[in-house]
Structure 1
Amino acid sequence: MIARIRGPVLNKQDGFVIVEAGGLGYKIRIPESNLIHIELQKETILYTELIVRQDQISLYGFQTPEEVELFRLLISVSHIGPQTGLALLSKFSVQEICDAISCKKPDKLSQVQGLGKKGAERIILELQNKVPEFIKTTSHSTLSSCIQDTILALQSLGYTHEESIAAIEKIQGNNSNMNSSEQVKEALKHLRKK
């Protein structure tokens, strides 16, 4: 597997770059949002995911480890392929996607061309329990605003950050359409049981 590539950018076109590494030129599909930050002939580092299909081998690259991890989560959803995952990361930031999933906003996700409301709902359904763990293992900057509000409210009531995250993880799977105030109420029920 190819996890990371570093080298000068030889070519840059819509949706992909060619990066030289070890004497080879790797064609790497990247989100449009990353493309604007990459300059020709300048060295770049891309975190990658290699996708092997029956008739094609493709390399997808991202500027941060959080982006590639979220890409892996997105393509783990049934009927969501790499092109849709890439389209989501082209249109939205990691934080915006996490927010849309944790706050149950299929209309936001379905703004991406090729992803209908049912596909967006499937992403939310399959990833709503995985997003808190993803947030915990990545940088705090990727916390969704809905979860951030819940954590801040719980901390203002005297609970630690770790207690707040643990309570949010417990309630994520039980209730599918909670805003932050409803999350606080449910989290408090779990925290008071201790």
Structure 2
Amino acid sequence: MIIGLTGGIGSGKSAVALRFAVKHGIHVVDADLKSRVVVEPGRPALQAIVDRFGDAVIQQTGELDRAALREKIFSDPQERLWLEALLHPLIRDEIVTDLASAASPYALLVSPLLVESGQHLMTDRVLVVDVSEETQLLRTALRDSVPQEQVKAIMQAQASREERLKHAHDIVSNDQDLAALHKQVDALHGRYLSMAAGDTI
């Protein structure tokens, strides 16, 4: 059984995934990490990005300058769509391979673009980490030390809160402290174990 975990930027997906992995030993596949793998030096996708945007998106180490690329794609929706068309199929292949190696009773696919990229179609259930948009904005601006305008642009490129919730089978509310978050995750783990064992809940 594959659970798709999603939520907007700054919602707390990483904290939820960490609890599933560390406390309960669940196999976690992080689409963000896979998105980094497919643009590593020597990979064809990186060369395609350089051909499109020039050397300004490459660091001196030869690695992708994600901040520079982000600026370009979030100021031009057409460039973002081009990048997604290039990367999403490659990321999907990496995800499928990793999920196939899972040994836990169920696996977690963590992706901020689970709904937008169609990755939710690879999952049996969708778990949404939900917070208010104001909280997303504040947390992300503080965490990443970026202007709120840039955070807003990223939020606009992601599915709306309403759209994500529409796809949700399960919801974790992350508007309290970590203990409250963990309590919700632990309860869901129990349900997922039952489902994976074939019990209907």
TM-score interval for Structure 1 and Structure 2 normalised by the shorter chain: under 0.3
Q: TM-score, normalised by structure 1?
A: 0.27
Q: TM-score, normalised by structure 2?
A: 0.26
Higher RCO (Cα < 8 Å, 6 or more apart)? 2
* Larger strand fraction of residues: 1
